[in-house]
Amino acid sequence: MKYKGYIVLGVVLFVTVFLGGCPLITYGNREADLRTQVEASQQANQVVYDRVWKTLQQQAGVTDRYQESFRAIYKDIMDARNPDGQAKLLKFVQESNPNFDSNLFKTLMTSIEANRRDFEREQKTLIDIHREHTVMFRQFPSSVYLSVLGRKQISIQLVTSTRTDEAFKSGKDDDVDLFKQNK
């Protein structure tokens, strides 16, 4: 009889520890997984953001260089054909000359739109993972288990534009002019 009490007490303790411990492990692991996903997504956002600006700046540079080169070629063509300077424009319009290709500008515009969409998608992924993490801290019983584990909610940094470092510090979009001269 005496051992029956110990057996019952042992079973009750085992069930209590099992029922309390398994969710503790489960919620702890899920929170750690979400925390890691948020950190990785935050870094992915920074990489995408950096790629966006580098791509657009380089494409804009190519477009500017093409425009400058085209202007110089036209000037040379006009000067070479009529050295005395008379009726240059009339002759220029009548002759068959190279055409300015605006496809570079179309490519740049397409890149702007596509890269902004990529960055938006990464931001939305980060927001969604953060939402899942926040729900764990607001719902019962996960909130109890996470407080027992001493876990804290994480914060995310959303960026709506600006140069990479400044954007991730401020979270503000204040410079979208690709053609502005940096001074």
- Residue 180's contacts (CB-CB under 8 Å, 6 or more residues apart) are none
The helix (run of H) or strand (run of E) holding residue 95 is none
Q: What is the pTM of this model?
A: 0.59
Give the pLDDT of residue 80.
60
Give the pLDDT of residue 104.
75
The pair of three-digit structure tokens given for residue 69, joined into one six-digit string:
């080169």
Give the pLDDT of residue 132.
95
Which tens digits make up the pLDDT trace of 19-74? 777 888 889 899 999 999 999 999 998 888 888 888 888 777 776 676 666 666 66
Model confidence at 83, pLDDT cuts 50, 70, 90, reads low
The pair of three-digit structure tokens given for residue 55, joined into one six-digit string:
């791509």
Which tens digits make up the pLDDT trace of 114-165? 888 888 899 999 999 999 999 999 999 999 999 999 999 999 988 765 566 7
Give the pLDDT of residue 152.
95
Q: What are the Cα distances from residue 70, in Å, to 3, 61, 147?
A: 98, 14, 66
Distance CA 158, CA 46 (A): 10
The pair of three-digit structure tokens given for residue 137, joined into one six-digit string:
């801290």
